[in-house]
Amino acid sequence: MNDMAKPPRSRAAKWTRRGFIGAGVLAGGALIVGVAVRPGNPVGKLGPIVAGGEGEQLVNSWVKIGADNVVTAIVPHCEMGQGAHSVLAQMLADELDADWSLVRVMQAPADGNYVVTDTARGFVAPGTLDAPDWLEPTWNGLFTKISQLGDVMITGGSSSIRTTGQRTMRIAGAAARQMLIAAAAREWGVPAAEIVTANSMLSHAASGKSAPYAQFAAAAAEEDMPQTPALKQPKDYRLMGTDAPRTDIPEKVTGAAQFGIDATVPGQKLTYAAVRKVPVPGTRIASMKADVAKTMPGVLQILNMGDFLAVVADSYWQAQQALNTIEAEYTKSESAIRSSADQFAAFAAALDQAGDQGGKELVGKGDVAGVLSVSAKTFTAEYRAPYLAHAPLEPMNATVWVRDGQCEIWTSTQVPLMARSAAAKAIGLSADDVTMHHPMLGGGFGRRLEVDYVVMAARIGLATGYPVKMIWSREEDTQKGLFRCADLSRFTGGIDAKGRLVAWNNVFTQHNDPAEACDAPFYDVPHKSIRVAEAELHLPFAAFRSVDHSQQAFFVESFIDEAAHAAGRDPVEFRLAMLGNSPRHKAVLEKVAAMAGWGTRPAAGRGRGVALVQSFGTIVAEVVEVDMSQGKPRLTQVWCAADPGFAMNPDGFRNQMEGGIVFGLTAALHGEITLKDGAVEQGNFNDYPMLRIDECPPIAVEIINADPVHLGGAGEPGLPPIAPALANAIFAASGKRIRELPIAKHFA
Amino acid sequence: MVKFTINGEAKSVEADPAMPILWVVREQLGLTGTKFGCGAALCGACTVHLDGQPVRSCSTPIGEAEGRAITTIEGIAGPEGELTRVQQAWISEQVPQCGYCQSGQIMAATALLRDNPRPSDADIDAAMAGNICRCGTYVRIRHAIKVAAGIEPARVVPLSGGAKA
């Protein structure tokens, strides 16, 4: 945790202004490109912050090289299990021709110099990643400014590799390599073009000279920064596209890895806070009785914060024990929604009002109403998805120390700069007065894109004035956070005389991100109307792994499957026939069908289901085989084919597909948050169960690299197809069509 | 005062005997490899060994450790830090994602292989079903246990010259 602390002034002194400007270490993002001329940046602080070690040389914002020839990639995204730290370093190391066994990763500090400019470019201006060379400096400067204003240091959207990796890290590696070559050429008096790099060594054949990178790191930092260094073509990749082992795994098998919850405050005694938020969103604490808690051992302070209670004690266990004795009363909620039935009635009312044509149109083409009226066959279907809690295994927590107009925070977060700003605002400080440490995350899944828990901890810290670690109980984590939305979606399909899906009419109530998640435009369907008729959500919303795809894929791919059966056609053949204009989707579907032996007959009592989804730039098809012979579903195998364009680390990509599938199976089979009296009913893993190893089927994953230039994501795309593939398999095996998740409750 | 050994070292701590082992280990002894997940013996993230048997430290009072031996994830490697077969297999098969549950998974797998050196899939599922992995690494956990048992070969990870577009 202390690797981000400021070192003694003596070390900082070696960082001259000349050194920074020459090295182009002025700012973040793709800022090694052209930043050296942007005046007024706080350049003096970057080197001391990230390269304080003896003998370390920062070559540019993203690379430092140690005297031991260790190359450290400074990665601006957080590590929450998706492998971004390692893969981003892998991309940088490849362009740098670094020896992978000597590459380390450092989490970039929560500092405006490390905003993820290219992620912002991907989000703000998709499709404009590549500016002409002459515009690059301006373009980069513009997006860096936007990113800094918006505190854009974000890890989400399955975006790290395809934005920061493809641009920032690769450019940083390639630029650093050119700078090392230039420095060596100068020293050796040979042409730069004759110097060869490999395994973190420079060599010149004609003169017989060679040297490790470390020898020229300091001189390289004085070289001019190449503005647009040439990047490798796929045929020249040495690390990209290989299963380079992850850098973070060794410390995760020894218990040494540090997560937010493991934070200590150097030189200080920690105290611990247990918290209880109001049970119903929007209410307040009306009164509390804490007589017993006050007398309990270890208790230091009892705080009524209005929207939550906190007990601070010498030990977390003591704090929680004391909190359990506090009785509280709460104000009444103004929400008319008290139960899950109320919530779905509100959805149904909105859809009833929208009818066949109302609501806001998101996708519209052709003449849906006209074609439905003349279709050979029409069918309707209504699908339901429940609220879900993210349930990362590391509960929400944050450690804070507020004193003397300063605040220091240690927490697991996907948005360190936003968390810093929100905490500062909550306790009346400026963001510059808040230092944020963000170690590894024990799972994020979108929950840690929210900053509510960091703000709570900061408020507790302001009240105590001494260091305090706030930890939510599992029950708080399940009940009091933010949630994947529930929703209701209604479809009407029209099939023509040739058994083709010709009309697709759909309306639902929740439309978040990605905007296109409700559609599957790769299928050739001539008449389509997709609309949203908004309805109020009782529980606060947070992006959940794959966001809207997590429910929309279930709706859409169940609908497509129902269309296939309505047409009397095989579900794979039916889909393939609609993919005439989408060769990559067709290839992925054909691949998974081949893997699963789709044409063969499954064993008695078993059935197979398929689903095809594109999300976050990656095309994924999955087939599930399910055994229904015991009267309830038992998964026997999952096959997954995926085209991410190019998998930078195939094994890491497969691991993400496996993880996305298991995460999606938990949601499909078990996941349901319900409401009673306005509050969440579930609390722990007994009533909000997760998929366990004894329910987990074998999973086979194959990758198609169809486009090495335009990459898709990895963290989320494995999830969306699994729920519909499973529901479709259950239909194939048993004739029972599941239109409401979770699946397990239909077989209880 | 409760006396026990932890990772082979004798300790005595001032603690309410009812306090769970988890919080003594994490807060008083600074061994943070053992994780808090649920507080109710439902997820296995807090698994440690008590006299060699896996227990849920979040729900086992420190009083029960009196005179006994606690082993945490920090204590399973050899005296020179040599990783165990289970730890090595977790690396070769690239099991962890976020890693938060993996201390508990490794402690559970270590106990399984000590009692059952050649477990079947069903044995593995039965022994490991108490340990939740929210990232979903179960397929790799199952495989890595077989690698550690010598039932399946460890993967050789290529470092360079691999796949091309």
Task: Judge: B45–A651 Cβ closer than 8 Å, yes or no.
Answer: no
Using CB atoms, which residue from B38, B77, B98 is nearest to A441?
A: B98
Over the Cα atoms of chain A, what is R_g?
A: 28
The domain spanning residue B53 has which CATH number? 3.10.20.30
Cα separation, B1 vs B11, whole angstroms: 10
pLDDT tens-place string over residues A374-421: 999 999 999 999 999 999 999 999 999 999 999 999 999 999 999 999
pLDDT of residue A157: 82
Which one of A444, A471, A498 terminates a domain?
Answer: A471
| Minimal-distance CA residue of chain A relative to B103 | A255
Q: Which two tokens stand for residue A9?
A: 């002034």
Cα separation, A470 vs A272, whole angstroms: 6
Check if A669 contacts B (Cβ < 8 Å): no
pLDDT of residue A47: 65
Mutate to test the interface with A, among B97, B120, B131 (most CBs of A within 10 A): B97
Identify all chain B residues contacting A652, using CB atoms and an 8 Å cutoff.
94
pLDDT of residue A119: 66
Q: Are residues A267 and A161 in the same domain?
A: no
Assess if residue B161 is contained within a domain. Answer: no
Q: Are residues B95 and B122 in the same domain?
A: yes
Q: Return residues 62-101 of B near A (CB < 8 Å).
A: 72-74, 77, 83, 87, 90-91, 94-101
The domain spanning residue A531 has which CATH number? 3.30.365.10
Assess if residue A477 is contained within a domain. Answer: no
**N-term to C-term CA, chain A:** 47
Domain count, chain B: 2
pLDDT classification of B159: cutoffs 50, 70, 90: very low
**Residue stretches of chain A with pLDDT short of 70:** 1-48, 51-54, 117-147, 149, 225, 227
Using CB atoms, which residue from A237, A445, A699 is nearest to B139?
A: A699
Cα separation, A336 vs A108, whole angstroms: 45
Structural domain boundaries enclosing B144: 85-148
Task: Judge: A261–B36 Cβ closer than 8 Å, yes or no.
Answer: yes
Cα separation, A175 vs B67, whole angstroms: 60
Cα separation, B58 vs A687, whole angstroms: 19
Q: What backbone phi and psi angles, to 5 degrees, belong to A623?
A: -120, 135
Structural domain boundaries enclosing A683: 340-387+483-747
Q: Return all residues near A615 (Cβ < 8 A) that are at least 6 apart.
A: A158, A514, A517, A546, A549, A553, A713, A716, A717, A720
Cα separation, A461 vs A416, whole angstroms: 18
- How would you classify the pairing of strands A299-304 and A209-212? unpaired
Task: Judge: B97–A659 Cβ closer than 8 Å, yes or no.
Answer: yes
Q: Return all residues near A205 (Cβ < 8 A) that are at least 6 apart.
A: A194, A196
Check if A272 contacts B (Cβ < 8 Å): yes
Cα separation, A96 vs A90, whole angstroms: 10
Q: Are residues A302 and A426 in the same domain?
A: yes
Assess if residue B18 is contained within a domain. Answer: yes
Assess if residue B51 is contained within a domain. Answer: yes
Burial (CB < 10 A; 0-12, 13-18, 19+), residue A646, is buried
Assess if residue A245 is contained within a domain. Answer: no
Which one of A205, A240, A275 terminates a domain?
Answer: A240
pLDDT of residue A138: 59
Assess if residue A249 is contained within a domain. Answer: no
pLDDT of residue A8: 30
Domain count, chain A: 3
Asked whether the CA dihedral A589, A591, A597, A599 is positive or negative, the reply is positive
pLDDT tens-place string over residues B126-156: 999 999 999 999 999 999 999 999 999 998 7
Mutate to test the interface with A, among B71, B102, B134 (most CBs of A within 10 A): B134
Task: Judge: A391–B134 Cβ closer than 8 Å, yes or no.
Answer: yes
Identify all chain A residues contacting B160, using CB atoms and an 8 Å cutoff.
100, 238-239, 242
Assess if residue B47 is contained within a domain. Answer: yes
Cα separation, A548 vs A374, whole angstroms: 32
Cα separation, A407 vs A729, whole angstroms: 53
Q: Are residues A509 and A554 in the same domain?
A: yes
Q: Return residues 41-60 of B near A (CB < 8 Å).
A: 42-43, 45
Assess if residue B154 is contained within a domain. Answer: no
Assess if residue A476 is contained within a domain. Answer: no
Q: Are residues A464 and A491 in the same domain?
A: no
DSSP B129: T
pLDDT of residue A121: 61
Assess if residue B158 is contained within a domain. Answer: no
Q: Are residues A314 and A204 in the same domain?
A: no
pLDDT tens-place string over residues B20-49: 999 999 999 999 999 999 999 999 999 999
Which one of B75, B100, B128 terminates a domain?
Answer: B75
Of A645, A684, A685, A638, nearest in space to A660 by CA: A638
Residue where the block lists tokens 């199976």: A665
Residues facing residue A638 across a β-bridge: A624, A699
Q: Return residues 65-104 of A near B (CB < 8 Å).
A: 79-83, 100-101
Q: Are residues A457 and A495 in the same domain?
A: no
Task: Judge: A320–B39 Cβ closer than 8 Å, yes or no.
Answer: yes
Assess if residue B13 is contained within a domain. Answer: yes
User: Number of Cβ pairs closer than 8 Å across A and B?
Assistant: 219
Quote the ipTM score. Answer: 0.96
Identify all chain A residues contacting B46, using CB atoms and an 8 Å cutoff.
none
Check if A660 contacts B (Cβ < 8 Å): yes
Using CB atoms, which residue from B74, B134, B138 is nearest to A255?
A: B74
Q: Are residues B48 and B14 in the same domain?
A: yes
Check if A693 contacts B (Cβ < 8 Å): yes
